[in-house]
C-alpha cells in the first residue's frame, strides 16, 4: 500500500470519527435530574402523558411540596396519579385492566383525573421520602407502559 493510499485511509477514518462523534449523546439526552427548585423554594416538574408513556423532566425531588405540570400530548384522555409504593416499576398487580387503588402495597397520594388531549393540568402534592410511580390507571394504560419512577429523598 502506497503512502498516498495510507493518507487517504487515515483522512477517511478521521472524517468518519468526526461524523460519528456528532451522532453521540448530548446534554438533551441526559437522564432527568432532581425537580427544579423555584426562587420561592417550591419544587416543580413538567411532563407529559401520551400513548403509552408518562414522562417527567425530573427523576425525583426533596421531601416536601412539589407541583407537577402535566400536558396530555396523546390523542385520547389520560390521567396522572402519584402513587407511593415499593412495588417495582410497572409491576403493580393488575386486576382485569386496572390496578386496585385500594391495594395495601400502594399509597394513593393524589391525582389529576382524566383530562382531554392538548390540555395541561397542574397537581401540587406534599411528598415524604420514598419511592413513587407516576402513572395513568385508565383501563389498560398502566399495563401498556404508562408509568415512570420518581424518588423522593429526605
Residues above pLDDT 70, as percent of the chain: 80
Mean pLDDT of 3-21: 45
Smallest CA-to-CA distance from 35 within 44, 46, 47 is with 44
Label residue 150 exposed, middle or buried (CB < 10 Å: 0-12, 13-18, 19+): buried
Q: Is the pLDDT confidence value at 136 over 60? A: yes
Q: Let me know if residue 128 belongs to a domain.
A: yes
Q: Is the pLDDT confidence value at 5 over 60? A: no
Q: Let me know if residue 2 belongs to a domain.
A: no
Q: Are 109 and 84 in contact (CB under 8 A)?
A: yes
Please tell me the total count of domains within the chain.
1
Q: Let me know if residue 20 belongs to a domain.
A: no
Q: Let me know if residue 92 belongs to a domain.
A: yes
Per residue in 80-97, pLDDT tens? 999 999 999 999 999 999
Q: Is the pLDDT confidence value at 115 over 80? A: yes
Q: Let me know if residue 5 belongs to a domain.
A: no
Kind and range of the H or E run holding 3: helix 3-22
- Dmax over CA atoms of the chain, in Å, equals 76
Question: What CATH number has the domain bearing residue 76?
Answer: 2.60.40.420
| Domain span holding position 103 | 32-153
Q: Let me know if residue 4 belongs to a domain.
A: no
Q: Is the pLDDT confidence value at 35 over 90? A: no
- Helices (H) and strands (E) counted in the chain, each on its own, are 1, 13
CA distances from residue 17 to 4, 7, 12, 29, 39 in whole angstroms, order as listed: 20, 15, 9, 20, 43
Q: Let me know if residue 25 belongs to a domain.
A: no
Q: Let me know if residue 91 belongs to a domain.
A: yes
Amino acid at each position: 500500500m502506497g503512502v498516498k493510499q495510507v493518507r487517504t485511509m487515515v483522512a477517511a477514518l478521521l472524517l468518519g470519527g468526526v461524523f460519528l462523534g456528532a451522532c453521540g449523546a448530548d446534554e438533551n439526552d441526559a437522564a432527568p435530574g432532581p425537580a427544579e427548585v423555584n426562587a420561592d423554594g417550591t419544587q416543580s416538574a413538567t411532563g407529559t402523558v401520551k400513548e403509552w408513556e408518562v414522562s417527567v423532566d425530573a427523576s425525583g425531588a426533596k421531601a416536601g411540596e412539589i407541583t407537577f405540570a402535566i400536558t396530555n400530548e396523546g390523542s385520547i384522555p389520560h390521567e396522572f396519579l402519584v402513587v407511593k409504593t415499593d412495588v417495582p416499576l410497572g409491576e403493580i398487580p393488575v386486576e382485569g385492566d386496572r390496578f386496585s387503588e385500594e391495594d395495601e402495597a400502594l399509597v394513593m397520594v393524589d391525582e389529576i383525573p382524566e383530562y382531554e388531549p392538548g390540555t395541561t393540568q397542574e397537581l401540587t402534592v406534599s411528598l415524604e421520602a420514598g419511592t413513587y410511580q407516576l402513572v395513568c390507571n385508565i383501563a389498560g394504560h398502566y399495563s401498556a407502559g404508562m408509568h415512570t419512577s420518581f424518588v423522593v429523598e429526605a
